[in-house]
Structures are given as C-alpha cells and as structure tokens.
Structure 1
C-alpha cells in the first residue's frame, strides 16, 4: 500500500473527510449546547379559557427536557394533554428558543358521576367543575356507556319537547335501565330497552296523554313510570301512592 500512490491518496482523502465530519459534529454539539437555545418561552393559543400560567408551570414546564433542538415534541404534547380541559395539543418549535402550542379543549355537555365531566362528543374528562359558567345536566352510567348516554340525552330532548320539559338528569343503571329527571321536576322511569323503539314508544304514550293527565291530576306531576306494556303510572304532588296505569295512545 505504501508504494501505491493511488491508495495513499484515497486514504488521505478519507482521513480528511473523517476529520471534517468530526469537526462538523463537534461544532454542532457545541452549538446546540449554547445557552441561547435554552427554552425560554411557551406560546399558547387556541382554546385557552381554562388555561393559565400557574397551571402550565405546575403541569408541563417540569416535564420539558432539553433545549430548542433536543426537546421531545411528542413528550411535550402528552404533557399538555394531561392538563385539565385539554383534549388535544399540537406543539412546534419556534426559532431560537420557544415552543408554540395550540390547544383544543373539551366542550362540556354535562357532569358525569360524582367527579367527572362528559363532553359533547361523549368523552369523559376530569376538570374543576367550579370553573363552569352554567349549570349542566347530570349523567351517569356503567363504564363505557358515556357516548350511549349522551346520544339518549339528545333523544330525550326531542321526545319530551311536546310537554315543554327538558332532561336535567339522565341515568343508565347497572342493569341498563333508564331514568330521567325533567326540568318540570318529574322523574321518569323508562326501564330497559327491549328494541330500538322501546323508549320512544313509552315516551310517546306519556306525551300523547299529557293534556288529559294534567287536567285530571294537575301539572305538578312528581313521578311517571313508563315501564308498563300499554300505559303508565303517575304520582302527583300530595298523592301517597302511584295511581293505576293510565291508558295512553300507542
């Protein structure tokens, strides 16, 4: 080899290339470690109504490792998505020392159980209910039924509209029986669904006979049991017992 000029030239060129690469790597390592690239700013936009600086400091800042070049954006995204109210976060770098974060918040539809909220999409999340600016309906049900309960809530809104009432509480029991508390104070037992029309048919019997019911018993109806096959039973204010099933229109 030492007598081969061509091979010596190739070896020399290779060493030069390796030397240059080493210099570039060393320079790059030195550059990315400069204090000027330390993360100094987090710019947040999007749904920020329930997001404030103390929450970000407590939930996110301590989990951000590295600088502008080395921070793990996926880990940063996950840290932001662990904050209350945050459904989704997107994170990107902003030269030379900042992160830009866009947040998408859950849109609450109602409360769920004793300590959670449910979104308009039927997703459960945990947040400070004291931050709500309005009273929301209450929902509850077995694990994994949030979307089903939310869908039925919208059905109940339509089905009870003829009597001028809206659902305030919707509960699906462990036995999958439905109970609804309405804005007029009436609790309605709908029972279990036998088929896709069960709840609609039972509700329709009550709303179709509502005028006759209120004329006979008054408008202060406290309880209605719609689980009968061809009618329903009610309890008006001051009554000790539930009445005999009242025949309604099918």
Structure 2
C-alpha cells in the first residue's frame, strides 16, 4: 500500500534513490576490476549505510550544501518583487530560516510556506535560478477595514482575515467595523454605502448586531438602526428624510428603521428632558387659558 509522503520526505526519498543508484553504478564499475566479489558487495553495503545514515540523521541539507558550495551553487542573490508592507530584510531572514545556503538544498515549497506564514504575505512563489539566484514574488494582503473585537483592534483584509494589530496612524482612514463576525461580513455593507456617499462620509463605525444586521454609528453620535431585510431601502429613506428636513443633525440619539410601517426617532436624554419641560409648560398654559376663558 502506498502512503503519501510529506514534501520534504519525498525529496529525501528521491535523493536517497539517486544516491543509491549512483552507488550501485559505481559498484558495478568496481566489480569490473579484479576485486573479489566479497569486496564489491562490501562496498555497496558500506555506501548504502552511509546514505541511509545521512538521511535518517537529517543531515541531507548539510551534505548538499557541502557539495554545492564548492561547485558555485551558494545562494548569493535574492530578488524580491511585490513587497510593500514586508521589508526585504524580513524576507531574507525568513529564507534563511529554512536552513539552506545553496540552491541544491533549498526546497521552494518549504520556503514558500515559511514566507506565507508572515503577517502581510498572502501568496508567495519561490524560484531557483541556477547557479546562485533565488527569485521571490509576493502578493500581500490589502488592508480593507479596522475590526474592533472587545477592546482589541486589528487591520483586516476584504475577506475579514486578520493581518496585524491596529496602531493609530497610517490606516486611520479605513472604515471601522465592530462586533463578532463583523470583519467577515463588512464588505457587503461597506460596498452598499458607495451608493450613499454623503451618508458614508458621516459614518464612524459599522456595528454588527446579533450576526444578522447592522447599526451605523455616525460621527456626531447618532445611531441608525437598520433592518435585517432590505437595509438599502431603509438607508435610502434615511437619506431622503435628512435631505427634506435635516434629521441627523438634530439632538437625537437614534433613528430606528427596523419597523416596516414607521420610523422611530429616539431623543437624547437632554433633549427628552427639555421636551418634557416644554410639554409641562404647555399644559400649564392651556390650563390657565381655560380658567381665564369667560363663561
């Protein structure tokens, strides 16, 4: 029964086969000389034992590097393309982590996997250009949004993959998404907001609620609660109301669009208190006017 080999194990097995075949060929040459048959057999056994010991001991790369350096196969040049956020120094350090110093021992698959484990690198390709050069092409993640999870902030790509922790500065202009699952679903609502540029410019954060719908927190603190179904229609209605009679600049806390038959406007605590006082004064005035009315 055949068992799948790990990439490195496969390379070692191929190497072992090649070396063994060379040893066998050499033994055939040796056997053509006037040596006892026992001597040829002993030569094959000893050589095979050496090859097996090298592979079993994990010294194959050392042997290949030892052979490759005198032959001029040392890695002397490394070209890096496609890097913006990843420095060439970091790429070189990752390449040296593979432990290879010559093209003979460098495994492109191992090098690629090492590079793709770095924070900014999405995909990498590694090519060996004999006798002494390595070409590396990188595709980096593109920052799309800042995701807030509890009290932590991260820069994420369009698919919601975490790239690096967020540090105030370069990425401040990215939209902020908040809540569990927000990073992976934010592209939909952010793309939809392209149709409402005047409202989009006023959004401070997109808040994911219950994994089902979105709230928009504006820069002035007003919260727009969108419905789970037909959120674009709700956004269009908010924009229409704001154009007709500036709504979002008023002293309100929230505009609730979750009910299909009505819009609920929530006042701020101060605004609600002032409204209550005005209503009380109006009631007193009406009562007083009623008393003064002639019979």
TM-score (norm 1): 0.69
Q: 1:139 aligns with which of 156, 177, 180?
A: 177
Shift of residue 206 of structure 1? 1.4
Contact 2:68 2:74 in 1 (8 A): no
Per-residue deviation, 1:61: 2.2
Structure 2: distance between partners of 1:17 and 1:111: 66
- 1:97 corresponds in structure 2 to 132
Task: Report the TM-score when normalising by structure 2.
Answer: 0.59
- The Cα offsets for residues 129-150 of structure 1, whole Å up to 9 and x where unpaired, read as 348624111124434x644321
Unaligned 5+ segments in structure 1 are: 1-13, 244-250
Which runs of at least 4 in structure 1 moved beyond 6 Å after TM superposition?
Answer: 14-17
- Work out the number of aligned pairs and report it: 215
Q: Which has the higher helix share?
A: 2
1:180–1:188 Cα contact (<8 Å) kept: yes
The aligned residue for residue 78 of structure 1 is 113
Q: What is the CA–CA distance in structure 2 between the aligned matches of 1:190 and 1:235, rounded to whole Å?
A: 14
Structure of higher RCO (CA pairs closer than 8 Å, 6+ residues apart): 1
State the 1:170 CA deviation: 1.5
- Which residue in the other structure is 2:293 paired with? none
CA shift, 1:67, in A, is 2.4
Match runs of 1:1-250 below 5 Å: 18-19=28-29, 31-32=67-68, 34=70, 36-46=72-82, 48-65=83-100, 67-113=102-148, 114-119=152-157, 121-127=158-164, 129-130=166-167, 133-135=170-172, 136-143=174-181, 146-158=183-195, 160-161=196-197, 163=199, 165-183=201-219, 185-191=221-227, 193=228, 195=229, 198-214=230-246, 218-219=249-250, 222-235=253-266, 238-240=270-272
User: 1:193-234 deviations in whole A, cap 9, x for unaligned?
Assistant: 2x4xx212222221221134427x855655322122223233
1: CA distance between counterparts of 2:80 and 2:159?
Answer: 26
CA contact (8 A) 1:163 1:210 kept: no
On the 8 A contact 1:156/1:167 being kept in 2, the answer is no
Identify if the C-alpha distance between structure 1 residues 165 and 234 changes in structure 2 by more than 3 Å, giving closer, same or farther. farther
Task: Tell me if the contact between 1:226 and 1:233 (Cα under 8 Å) persists in the aligned partners.
Answer: yes
Structure number having the greater strand percentage? 1
| Contact 2:180 2:208 (8 Å CA) reproduced | yes
Q: CA separation of 1:201/1:131 partners in 2, compared to 1, >3 Å: closer, same or farther?
A: closer
Tell me the secondary structure at the aligned position of residue 240 of structure 1: helix
Once residues 225 and 82 of structure 1 are traced to their aligned partners in structure 2, the CA distance between those partners, rounded to angstroms, is 44
Whether the 8 Å contact between 2:156 and 2:164 is mirrored in structure 1 is: no
Is the Cα–Cα contact under 8 Å of residues 194 and 200 in structure 2 kept in the other structure? Answer: no
Indicate the residue corresponding to 2:289 in structure 1.
none
Give the distance between the partners of 1:115 and 1:59, measured in 2 at CA: 27
Question: Which structure: larger Rg?
Answer: 2
Across the aligned residues of Structure 1 and Structure 2, the Cα RMSD in angstroms comes to 3.6
